[in-house]
Amino acid sequence: MKIRIETTYKTPKGLTTRLCSEVMDAEKGMTIAEDLERTGRSKNLKFIDNNENSWSLKELKEFMKGIETEPHNVVVYFDGGFDLETRKSGLGCAVYYDQNGKSFRFRKNAVVGELNTNNEAEYAALHLSLMELEQLEVHHLPVTFIGDSQVVINQLNGEWSCTEEELSKWADRIEHKLKQLGIQPEYELISRKKNKEADQLATQALKEVEIESTIETKPRK
């Protein structure tokens, strides 16, 4: 969960100013907030999340404690590829998340035959990741979705219009699943080079190499 801190700071001589921090992980924000409160010079401290909801330190602590045993701090990499010769599509996703004080990576790919374009495959890969998030019981949390498809990212961000009927159907399907799970999506566009893990999963799917695995990883910074 990403937040920013807002507080009124008062110097020993009585000067006051309103401070607003950069966006950071909730855990880091709570540590900084506790340190600010120990100085006795921070008043009206609150946290603001990505949806502009306001939290007190107590409320945020209770919320973070409640989700500790569930997957949280979720980041999804996705990619899809379409083989014109075989008319098959390879889908891949890598899901990074924290749970019970540990960090994990889940990987999944699939090959499908009912799609017609690479853009459809990209949408289908994102939809595959949502189905896996549902299996992981990820719900009512912000999730960052990272991919290298300008079409998918920009259309779902609302920056590009979605005029193709099939892509519009995929977008509607994804929006429905997001609403059903209560997930607040954030989309990030990266280069194909930086998306090599999901790209490899999609390529392996086209070669009919099935991947489904979960491993513990080092904590993410």
Q: What pLDDT is stored for residue 6 in this prediction?
A: 95
Query: Is the per-residue pLDDT at 1 higher than 80?
Result: no
Neighbours of 90 (CB within 10 A): 27
For the whole model, what pTM was predicted?
A: 0.81
Summarised one tens digit per residue, pLDDT across range 86-139 is: 999 999 999 999 999 899 999 999 999 989 999 999 999 999 999 999 999 999
Q: What pLDDT is stored for residue 69 in this prediction?
A: 87
- How do 184-189 and 142-147 pair as beta strands? parallel
% of the chain beyond a pLDDT of 70: 99
Average pLDDT over residues 72-95: 96
Phi, then psi, of 165 in degrees rounded to 5: -60, -45
Domains along the sequence of the chain with CATH:
2-67 (no CATH), 72-217 (3.30.420.10)
pLDDT category, 221, cuts 50, 70, 90?
low
